[in-house]
Amino acid sequence: MAKHLLFGTSYSRRTALKVAAAASAGVASGPQAQAWTHGSGPSRTDDSHPRLLARPSDFDAVASRVVTDEVSQGWFSTLEELGTELLAVPTPTFPNGASLLNTARTAVNRIYTLALLEQLAADPSYAQRARAEIAAIAEFPQWSRTNPPKLADDFLSVAEMTHAMAIGYDWLFHTMSDDERADAREAIIEKGLRTALNAYREDSIYTGSPNNVGIVTNAGFGVGALAIEPESPLIARDILRRSLHCIRPAVQQLSPDGSSPEGGYWGYVIRYLGIYLAALESSGVRDNGISQTVGLSETGNYAIYLTGPAGQFFNYSDSDPTSQQPPELLWLSERYSNPVYTWWGSRSRSTSTLYLPRYLLWYDPSKDVGPLESDLPLDIHFASVEVATFRSAWEDPDALFAGFKAGDNASSHGDLDQGTFVIDANGRRWATELGKDSYGLSGYFDYGGGRRWNYYRKRAEGQNTLVINPTSAPDQLPNASCHISRYESSAAGGYAIADLTGAVPGDAVTSWQRGVAMVDQRRRTLVQDEVTPNGHITAWWFMHTTAQVAVSEDGRSASLTMADEDGGNPATLLVQMVSAPPDSAFTVRAATPLPTSPTPQGQSANAGVSKLTIELAADDAFTLAVLFSPITEPANPDLTTPSVVALHDWSTDM
pLDDT at 47: 59
* Cβ atoms of residues 484 and 406 within 8 Å: yes
pLDDT at 20: 52
For the segment(s) 381-637, the CATH number from 3.30.200.210, 2.70.98.70, 1.10.260.40, 3.30.70.420 is: 2.70.98.70
- pLDDT for 638 beyond 90: no
Residue 545's DSSP bridge partners are: 610
- Taking the alpha carbons at both ends of the chain, their separation in whole angstroms is 65
Confidence of residue 14 (pLDDT cuts 50, 70, 90): very low
CA dist., res. 430 & res. 609, Å (int) = 11
- pLDDT for 7 beyond 60: no
Q: Helices 266-282 and 328-335 sit at what angle, rounded to 10 degrees?
A: 60
List pLDDT tens digits, range 496-527.
Answer: 999 999 999 999 999 999 999 999 999 999 99
Residue type, 415: D
Confidence of residue 241 (pLDDT cuts 50, 70, 90): very high
Per CATH, domain 14-367 is 1.50.10.100 = yes
Confidence of residue 38 (pLDDT cuts 50, 70, 90): very low
- pLDDT for 39 beyond 80: no
- Residues contacting 637, CB < 8 A, separation 6+: none
> Among 409, 410, 425, 497, which residue's Cα sits nearest to residue 460?
409
Average pLDDT over every residue of 553-579: 93
Question: Which of 46-55, 181-190, 318-327, 637-646 shows the lowest per-residue confidence on average (mean pLDDT)?
Answer: 637-646
- pLDDT for 36 beyond 50: no
DSSP state of 453: G
- Torsion from C-alpha of 632, 638, 640, 642, nearest 10 degrees: -100
* Cβ atoms of residues 483 and 386 within 8 Å: yes
pLDDT at 13: 33
Residue 512, classed as helix, strand or coil, is strand
Any alpha helices (H) in 478-636, and if so which ranges? Answer: none
Mean model confidence pLDDT for the chain: 91
CA dist., res. 362 & res. 346, Å (int) = 10
List pLDDT tens digits, range 276-328.
Answer: 999 999 999 999 999 999 999 999 999 999 999 989 999 999 999 999 999 99
- pLDDT for 210 beyond 50: yes
CA dist., res. 516 & res. 407, Å (int) = 15
Higher pLDDT pick, 248 / 32: 248
- Taking 3-state DSSP, the helix, strand and coil percentages for the chain, each rounded to the nearest 5, stand at 35, 20, 45
- pLDDT for 88 beyond 60: yes
**In the chain, pLDDT over 90 holds for what percent of residues?**
88
Handedness of CA 125, 188, 92, 77 (dihedral sign): positive
CA dist., res. 430 & res. 426, Å (int) = 10
SS (H, E, C) 270-339: HHHHHHHHHHHHHCCECCCCHHHCCCHHHCHHHHHHCECCCCEECCCCCCCCECCCCCHHHHHHHHCCCH
* Cβ atoms of residues 609 and 544 within 8 Å: yes
pLDDT at 566: 80
Using alpha carbons, list the distances in angstroms from residue 518 to 63, 381, 492, 528. 46, 14, 9, 12
CATH 1.50.10.100 domain extents, the chain: 14-367
Query: Which helix (H) or strand (E) covers residue 166, if one does?
Result: helix 152-171
Confidence of residue 12 (pLDDT cuts 50, 70, 90): very low
Which class for 648: exposed (0-12), middle (13-18), buried (19 or more C-beta within 10 A)? exposed
CATH 2.70.98.70 domain extents, the chain: 381-637
- pLDDT for 34 beyond 60: no
Angle at 441 between CA 436 and CA 443, to 5 degrees: 100
- pLDDT for 33 beyond 80: no
List pLDDT tens digits, range 50-67.
Answer: 999 999 999 999 999 999
Confidence of residue 348 (pLDDT cuts 50, 70, 90): confident
- pLDDT for 48 beyond 90: no
Handedness of CA 141, 142, 148, 151 (dihedral sign): positive
Confidence of residue 564 (pLDDT cuts 50, 70, 90): confident
- pLDDT for 17 beyond 90: no
List pLDDT tens digits, range 454-493.
Answer: 999 999 999 999 999 999 999 999 999 999 999 999 999 9
Question: Which of 194-198, 208-212, 336-340, 604-608 shows the lowest per-residue confidence on average (mean pLDDT)?
Answer: 208-212
- pLDDT for 79 beyond 90: yes
CA dist., res. 394 & res. 301, Å (int) = 13
Higher pLDDT pick, 9 / 448: 448
Handedness of CA 107, 113, 115, 116 (dihedral sign): positive
- pLDDT for 16 beyond 60: no
List pLDDT tens digits, range 592-615.
Answer: 999 999 999 999 999 999 999 999
Residue 588, classed as helix, strand or coil, is strand
Confidence of residue 19 (pLDDT cuts 50, 70, 90): low
Count Cα neighbours of 38 within 13 Å in the Cβ-side half-sphere: 1
Buried b (16+ CB within 10 A) or exposed e, 127-155: bebbbebbeebbebebbbbeeebeebbbb
CA dist., res. 392 & res. 396, Å (int) = 9
Average pLDDT over every residue of 392-408: 97
Average pLDDT over every residue of 16-40: 41
Q: How many helices (H) and strands (E) does the chain have?
A: 15, 20
Confidence of residue 544 (pLDDT cuts 50, 70, 90): very high
Residue 627, classed as helix, strand or coil, is strand
- pLDDT for 590 beyond 50: yes
Average pLDDT over every residue of 76-88: 96
CA dist., res. 362 & res. 356, Å (int) = 10
SS (H, E, C) 541-573: EEEEECCEEEECCCCCEEEEEECCCCCCCCEEE
Give backbone dihedrals phi and psi of 2, rounded to 5 degrees, phi first. Answer: -65, 145
